[in-house]
Amino acid sequence: MRIEEKKRSTKNERGASLVIALLASLVLSVLSAGIIFVTQTETLTTANYKTLAQARYAAEAGVQRTINWLSNNYTAPTSFAAYNTSATPVRCVSGCANTGSIVLSAVSGVTSNYPDATVATAYQTALSNQALTGISNASYSTSATMNSMTPGTSALAHQSLPTPSLEILRDAPA
């Protein structure tokens, strides 16, 4: 009698190995899909980080190049009659497109409002849409707003002139 019972139990288990194999395949497929998803996400995250770093480097390069230009190429005005130096930021009184803040701009959409057109043009030429070597698809443009002018000796002219304090804004990548 026992022999018949064993036959019945093995007869009922036919196909169980197929179900176990399918479940194992399902688990392995889910694990494989998870690994592929994580790998793809890491690749996209790395690409985003690279783009972010390049944009930051372009912006920092723009600020540094603007500081260099202002230190080496900026010509101090000979007359300060066009400036309201008691306002913050410094305002244009005459000789400007408007009486707003004094702005040197190389950014499209930001209007330069500097009394000396030669200085404004030189700034725009030197700092507009500048490409960076070694970084593809990145360039910068900057603008500088004169926040104040304090009496003192100008390092550029070596004479007693108001020294401008500028706020430099950058636009990167382009």
| Maximum alpha-carbon separation in the chain | 120
Cα 45 from Cα 41, distance rounded (Å): 6
Which residue did the predictor score with more confidence, 78 or 43?
43
**Any idea which residue has 């390069």 for tokens?**
61
Contacts by 92-101, CB closer than 8 A, 24 or more apart: 101/145, 101/146
Contacts by 158-164, CB closer than 8 A, 24 or more apart: 161/76, 162/80, 162/85, 164/90
Residue range 155-171: mean pLDDT, rounded: 51
Q: Which of 29-38, 59-68, 91-100, 111-120 has the lowest mean pLDDT?
A: 91-100
Report the chain's C-alpha Rg in angstroms.
Answer: 34
Q: Is the pTM of this model over 0.75?
A: no
Residue 27, pLDDT score: 96
Check residue 142 and report its DSSP letter.
E
Cα 72 from Cα 67, distance rounded (Å): 9
Which residue did the predictor score with more confidence, 2 or 74?
74
Residue range 5-12: mean pLDDT, rounded: 56
Cα 113 from Cα 101, distance rounded (Å): 7
Cα 138 from Cα 50, distance rounded (Å): 12
List of residues 6+ apart from 153 with CB closer than 8 A: 159, 160, 161, 163
Cα 167 from Cα 147, distance rounded (Å): 7
